[in-house]
């Protein structure tokens, strides 16, 4: 797995935090009475966690949530997840493993969208994701319920899909088969619910999905192929759409690459070539350039040249040039056929022109830009300083809006206001912060386009 935390790593073993072993029982659950008698938010949460891991009773889960609510949702921190990770790894304690997922679900039920900034991180999500592969049915069911609830929470806000990219990529790397399938199905769902966002994520997600198309497990292969086919439907290029089944077939069976390259070679590119389009064609060309058949290499160079000329935004092509340029230049130097060498040389010139244009273009907004914009939009700077996680998450969502060229007031309020409100500010003040963030981002985008 990606997460390796020693079972001995506990919140109550950390410096400055006293160990609190809950032994008192009462109508609110085993941990509640002890938690109420303990001083300090960390001690209360810690005592409640001890009892919850022991019993996995809903009353004890509720006691943990109550202690967190009293301290504030920011108490859902790395230290807490270190304890949850340790509990998830207790092979002989079924209740502890069940309790981890029950708490995850309970946090969503209590805090709603306010918990998004605290549950989305790859290492935190991975704690529950790994439990899908547990050998005990109740543990798996609790994990599936928790993750399904979180997925449903995010689905209504498409920009969260982009913000979850790193977590999805990490999830694709899990060794647990049920977890792999869950993540693949999640990405498939995103291809429908967050189509625009996925267009900008395809380049990163396709390699991981394609890897699972070659899994030794038939159910993973099937899920990956289904997810890939669904993802490629977001490609908004009518020239390429008829070739999508052939592109998927080439991913599934490498021997299909030469034939698919020749099929694509018959294509006349007319429509602008977008990031999504490049995401699916560039991997094929990368393999084609390595083919021993000179005709396949030459065809790749022709496709690449024709496609490159229809790239409207050089920055869209920049991430893909790391694959294409070395392959084209190698072919240009190594292939003995004069016609093929000349075609590759011409392709190399076109790609280098795009690279030069991309590198000289004004940079796109970064996450740091959006963090600054949102922080500055909150009038009360003392409040803004207290909610770094909320601002960071809002900035992830806002960045997705900017990349998607979405500057509607309602969308920006949905991505910022709930998290500013979590700091105790009114809805009116939260909306003002969202509106100011939108105005600043729009101004930034206008300056960017003017340049």
- pLDDT, one tens digit per residue, over 148-166 is 999 999 999 999 999 999 9
What secondary structure, in 3-state letters, does the chain show? CCCCCCCCCCHHHCCCCCCCCCCCCCCCCHHHHHHHHCCCHHHHHHHHHHHHHHHCCHHHHHHHHHHHHHHCHHHCCHHHHHHHHHHHCCCCCHHHHHHHHHHHHHHHHHHHHHHHHHHCCHHHHHHHHHHHHCCCHHHHHHHHHHHHHHHHHHHCCCHHHHHCHHHHHHHHCCCCHHHHHHHHHHHHHHHHHCHHHHHCCHHHHHHHHHHHCCCCCHHHHHHHHHHHHHHHHHCCCCCCHHHHHHHHHHHHCHHHHHHHHHHHHCCCCCCCCCHHHHHHHHHHHHHHCCCCCHHHHHHHHHHHHHHHCCCCCHHHHHHHHHHHHHHHHHHHHHCCCHHHHHHHHHHHHHHHHHHHHHHHCCCCCCHHHHHHHHHHHCCCHHHHHHCHHHHHHHHHHHHHHHHCCCCCHHHHHHHHHHHHHCCCCCHHHHHHHHHHHHHHHHHHHHHHHHC
Distance CA 172, CA 181 (A): 9
The predicted pLDDT at position 449 comes to 55
- pLDDT, one tens digit per residue, over 176-220 is 999 999 999 999 999 999 999 999 999 999 999 999 999 999 999
- In the structure, what pLDDT confidence band is assigned to residue 44 with cuts at 50, 70 and 90? very high
For the chain, the average pLDDT equals 89
The predicted pLDDT at position 247 comes to 93
The predicted pLDDT at position 95 comes to 98
- In the structure, what pLDDT confidence band is assigned to residue 334 with cuts at 50, 70 and 90? confident
pLDDT at residue 20 is higher than 80 = no
pLDDT at residue 13 is higher than 70 = no
C-alpha 106: how far from its chain's center? Answer: 23
293 within 8 A of 251, measured Cβ to Cβ: no
The predicted pLDDT at position 236 comes to 86
The predicted pLDDT at position 448 comes to 59
The predicted pLDDT at position 187 comes to 98
- In the structure, what pLDDT confidence band is assigned to residue 32 with cuts at 50, 70 and 90? very low
pLDDT at residue 88 is higher than 80 = yes
- In this prediction, what percent of the chain has a pLDDT beyond 90? 79
H or E stretch at 189: helix 177-193
The predicted pLDDT at position 362 comes to 83
The predicted pLDDT at position 261 comes to 96
The predicted pLDDT at position 424 comes to 85
* Predicted TM-score (pTM) of this structure: 0.87
């Amino acid at each position: 797995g990606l997460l390796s935390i020693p079972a001995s790593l506990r919140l109550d073993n950390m410096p400055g935090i006293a160990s609190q072993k809950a032994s008192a029982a009462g109508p609110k659950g085993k941990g509640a009475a002890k938690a109420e008698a303990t001083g300090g938010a960390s001690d209360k949460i810690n005592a409640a966690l001890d009892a919850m891991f022991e019993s996995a009773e809903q009353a004890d889960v509720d006691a943990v949530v109550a202690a967190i609510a009293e301290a504030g949702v920011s108490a859902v921190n790395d230290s807490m997840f270190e304890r949850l990770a340790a509990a998830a790894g207790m092979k002989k304690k079924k209740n502890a493993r069940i309790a981890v997922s029950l708490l995850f679900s309970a946090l969503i039920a209590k805090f709603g969208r306010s918990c998004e900034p605290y549950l989305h991180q790859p290492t935190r999500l991975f704690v529950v994701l790994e439990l899908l592969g547990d050998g005990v049915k109740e543990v798996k069911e609790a994990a599936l319920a928790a993750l399904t609830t979180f997925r449903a929470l995010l689905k209504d806000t498409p920009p969260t899909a982009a913000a979850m990219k790193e977590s999805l990529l990490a999830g694709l790397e899990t060794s647990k088969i049920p977890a792999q399938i869950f993540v693949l199905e999640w990405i498939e769902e995103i291809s429908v619910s967050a189509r625009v966002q996925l267009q900008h994520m395809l380049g990163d997600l396709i390699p991981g999905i394609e890897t699972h198309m070659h899994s030794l497990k038939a159910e993973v292969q099937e899920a990956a192929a289904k997810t890939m086919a669904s993802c490629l439907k977001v490609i908004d290029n009518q020239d390429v759409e008829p070739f999508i089944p052939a592109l998927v077939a080439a991913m599934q069976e490498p021997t299909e690459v030469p034939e698919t390259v020749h099929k694509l070679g018959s294509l006349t590119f007319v429509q602008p070539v977008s990031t999504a389009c490049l995401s699916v064609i560039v991997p094929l060309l990368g393999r084609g350039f390595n083919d021993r058949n000179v005709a396949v290499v030459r065809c790749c160079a022709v496709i690449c040249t024709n496609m490159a000329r229809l790239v409207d935004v050089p920055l869209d092509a920049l991430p893909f040039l790391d694959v294409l340029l070395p392959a084209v230049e190698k072919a240009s130097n190594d292939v003995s056929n004069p016609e093929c060498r000349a075609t590759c040389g011409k392709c190399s010139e076109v790609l280098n022109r795009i690279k030069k244009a991309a590198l000289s273009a004004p940079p796109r907004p970064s996450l740091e830009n959006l963090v600054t914009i949102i922080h500055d939009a909150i009038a009360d700077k003392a409040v803004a300083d207290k909610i770094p996680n909320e601002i960071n998450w809002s900035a992830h969502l806002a960045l997705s809006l900017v990349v998607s060229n979405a500057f509607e007031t309602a969308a920006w309020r949905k991505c910022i206001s709930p998290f500013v409100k979590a700091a105790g500010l009114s809805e009116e003040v939260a909306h003002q912060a969202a509106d100011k963030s939108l105005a600043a981002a729009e101004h930034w985008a206008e300056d960017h386009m003017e340049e």
